[in-house]
Structures are given as C-alpha cells and as structure tokens.
Amino acid sequence: MNAWGMDCNELVELVTEYLEGTLGAEARANFEKHLGLCGSCRNYLEQMKLTRLATGTLRAEDVPADALDSFRSAFREWKKS
Amino acid sequence: MSPAGQSGPMDTGRGGTASRGANPANERELIERLRGGDEVAFVELVRQYQSLLKRVARMYVHTEAVAEEVVQETWLGVVRGIEGFEGRASLKTWIVRILMNRARTRGEREGRTVPFSALETEESTCADPAVPADRFQDAADAYPGHWTVPLKRWGDDPEQWVTSNETLDFLHGAIDLLPPVQRSVVMLRDAQEWTTEEVCEALGLTETNQRVLLHRGRSKLRKALESHFQGQVAKA
C-alpha cells in the first residue's frame, strides 16, 4: 500500500478519468488521498481544470463576411429550386 | 461551470453532462425554420458551427483551403438535406456526419495516406505521457515517481490569467497544433460542451478511446499553457 495513495506520475494519467467520474472507487480514494498530501498535484489538477475552462471560453472565430455572403446566396438558390 | 479557482481538490467537476443548444424544443423550432427557408436561422447555424467544422474537416484533408471547401459543401448538403432530416440524431451530430462523409471522400481523392481509423489508433495508443518522465524523480531519488521540482500555480489569479485575451490567443494556436482527432475531441467536448455520447456518436469512437484522446489533448494544452506562463514569468 502506497503511503501517498499513488505516485504523482500515476496521478497525472488519471486526472481525466477523475474529472469524468469514471474512476473506480478504490482508485478514486487513492487519488484523493494523494491530493490531500501533495500540493503539486493539487496544482496540477487545478491546471487541468483551468485548461478546460480556457477552451470553453474560446469564442467561435468570426466567420468572414464574404463566406457568409456565399452561404446566403447558396441558400437563396436552394430556396428558388 | 464553476470557477476552477474556487473549487476544492475534492471537486470532481464532472464534465460532459451539460450541452449547449441541446434543448429539443429549440432544436425542433430551428429545424422548422430551416425547412421554411429562414435565412436568419441558416446564418446562425453557420456562425455557430463554422470554425468547429473546419477543425473536424482537418482530420481528413491536408490544407486549410480544402477544409474550407469541404465545409462549404457540407452547408450545401445541410440545406439540401434538411427536408429529409428525420431527427433520429441531433441536428449537430447529423451536420458533423455530413461533414465527415464529404471530408473522407475528399481526403481519399486527395490521396491522404492515413485513414481516419489509423489516425485514431495512432493518437490513442502510441506512448504519449501527459507529463514528460523527466519531470518526476527516478528510482535512485528520494521519492521515485514524485515531482522533481514542485509544480507551481499560474500566478495569484490563475483563472484571470488563463481566460485573458492574450492567453486565449495562444491557446487557439496550441489547439491547432494538436493531432487532428485529439483536436476534434477537445473542441467538441470542451469548447462546444458536447456530451461524451454525442462525441462518440458523431466521430464513431468508443467511450474509452474518446476519453484517452480527450486526456491526451487536454494534457498537451496544459503543458503548452504552462510553458507559455513560464515564458512570461521569465520575461518579467
């Protein structure tokens, strides 16, 4: 039994399963035990959440006006047919 | 989504249950408007999905220009096919499937040598650690498998830093550098907030592979953001 629950290099590979809620009960308990003891891994988990947050904040790039115009005209063509 | 800075380490932050624009009533209404030839509805749809579709198309074709053509063809396919759309899949997975069919055909014609299934296998099975092994102590050290150098936070207000325009611009570039299938999964899950089921359905992935691809993609983005942060600290 690992006194730390698991090692840091194991934890970083389980972060996504942890966030997705797909870790088994035992692995989850060990994951959380490790987090309780290791500030670096708490920071790592925070950074993975921040990464997800940042991706979720990306605005869709603006579609260029000329591209929209071509879609509009294609749409009108189709309506006529 | 709860602000990450305020959530404790025990918060699992379960992702993937919320889905933007998945309200069935809204979707039915949107489909009706499209069928009725409502140009505003169509333009809305294009605005919403254009950049995503371009990224997915890049899984199959070599260049940005060809990806754009594929997306154009997809919209024509959507316009022509909306009449026959039966609503068995959601509108968005239906659109992504049209795109994937066009892109696949186009990729084959272009002679792209790596088919999607091989790309997916390569991206989900090759050795690809979330963090390089040299960041951890080895067997000869005091704490094998533990960080060599403690991992620091991204400043005093990491949430503000990570969502600043400058960081987001950088992140855009980092996403474009991801391998194509990882990029698509990360964009669909984290930017478009699709559920696991929707992503698996649209891209034809198993849940396990979807999760592995998401993990690898997100891990690479974290690593890129970390280097970017350290670069800024070094300059300051």
> What CA–CA distance (Å, rounded) separates A77 from B7?
52
Domain A8-80 has CATH 1.10.10: yes
For chain B, where do the domains classified as CATH 1.10.10.10 start and end? 116-235
Mean pLDDT for B116-128 is 87
Q: Mark yes or no for CB contact B163/A70 under 8 Å.
A: no
- pLDDT band at residue B115 using 50, 70 and 90 as cut-offs: confident
Is residue B95's pLDDT more than 60?
yes
Among the partner residues B15, B43, B150, nearest to A68 by beta-carbon distance = B43
Kindly list the domain boundaries of chain A, sorted by start residue.
8-80
pLDDT of A58 reads 85
Which residues in A lie closer than 8 A to residue B43 (C-beta atoms)?
Answer: 68, 71-72
Kind plus residue range of the DSSP H or E element containing A51: helix A39-57
pLDDT at site B113:
55
In chain B, ranges of CATH 1.10.1740.10 domains: 24-110
The DSSP secondary-structure symbol of B152 reads: P
Structural contact between residues B165 and B155, judged by C-beta atoms closer than 8 angstroms = no
pLDDT confidence bin for A69, thresholds 50/70/90: confident
Coil, helix or strand at residue B221: helix
pLDDT at position B10 is 38
Statement: residue B210 has pLDDT above 90:
yes
Q: What is the mean pLDDT of residues B143-158?
A: 97
Instruction: Look at A1 and B38; give whichever has higher pLDDT.
Output: B38
**Backbone dihedral angles phi then psi of residue B62, each to the nearest 5 degrees:** -80, -35
Question: Is the per-residue pLDDT at B222 higher than 50?
Answer: yes
Separation CA B103–CA B118 (nearest Å):
16
B97-108 pLDDT, tens digit per residue, is: 899 889 888 888
Higher pLDDT, B221 or A61: B221
Q: Helix or strand or coil: residue B61?
A: coil
> Which residue would you say has higher pLDDT here, B150 or B50?
B150
Instruction: Collect all residues of chain A within an 8 Å Cβ-Cβ radius of residue B9.
Output: 32, 35-36, 42, 45-46
**Which pLDDT tens digit goes with each residue over B76-93?**
899 889 988 888 888 988
Chain B residues whose CB is inside 8 A of the A72 CB are 39, 42-43
ipTM score assigned to the predicted complex: 0.87
Alpha helices in chain B (DSSP H): 24-35, 39-57, 64-81, 91-110, 116-125, 158-162, 165-176, 180-186, 196-203, 207-235
Residue type for position A42: R
Question: What is B24-110's CATH topology?
Answer: Rna Polymerase Sigma Factor; Chain: A (1.10.1740)
Q: Lowest-pLDDT range, B23-27, B67-71, B177-181, B226-230? A: B23-27
Q: Residue B145: its chain A contacts at CB < 8 A? A: 7-10
Quote the tokens at residue B144.
């094998």
What integer pLDDT is reported at residue B62 of this predicted model? Answer: 80
**CATH code given to domain B116-235:** 1.10.10.10
Contact B14/A21, CB-based, under 8 Å? yes
User: What residues pair up with B136 in beta bridges, in sequence order?
Assistant: B147
Say yes or no for a CB contact (<8 Å) between B46 and A68.
yes
| Among A7, A9, A71, beta carbon nearest to B43 | A71
* Chain B residues with CB-CB distance to A41 below 8 A: 147, 151
Long-range contacts of A27-31 (CB under 8 A, 24+ apart): A29/A5, A30/A2, A30/A5, A30/A6, A31/A5, A31/A6
For B54-80, b where at least 16 C-beta lie within 10 A, e where not — what string? bbbbbbbbeeeebbbebbbbbbbbbbe
Query: Which distant-in-sequence residues (6+ apart) come within 8 Å of A80 by Cβ?
Result: none
* Predicted pLDDT of residue B16: 35
Q: Which pLDDT score, from 0 to 100, does residue B202 have?
A: 86
Q: What is the pTM of this model?
A: 0.82
- At A46, is the pLDDT very low, low, confident or very high (cuts 50, 70, 90)? very high
Q: Do A46 and B153 touch (CB under 8 A)?
A: yes
pLDDT tens digits, A11-25: 999 999 999 999 999
Give me the residue label for tokens 């699992």: B12
Contact present, A16 and A31 (Cβ < 8 Å): no
Q: Which residue has the higher pLDDT, A50 or B30?
A: A50
Question: Rounded to a whole number, what is the distance in Å from the CA of B112 to chain A's nearest CA?
Answer: 26
Mean pLDDT over A49-62 rounds to: 86
What does the pLDDT read at residue B23? 63
Selection from B39-48, B153-162, B176-185 with the highest mean pLDDT: B153-162
User: In this predicted model, what pLDDT tens digit does every residue of B7-52 receive, in sequence order?
Assistant: 333 333 333 333 444 566 788 899 999 988 898 999 889 988 888 8
Residue B8 burial by CB count (10 A; 0-12/13-18/19+): exposed, middle or buried? exposed
DSSP characters for B175-219? HHTS-HHHHHHHIIIIIS---HHHHHHHHT--HHHHHHHHHHHHH
What pLDDT is attached to residue B192? 86
User: Are B75 and A74 in contact (CB < 8 Å)?
Assistant: yes
Residues facing B147 on adjacent strands: B136
Interchain contact B76–A (C-beta under 8 A):
yes
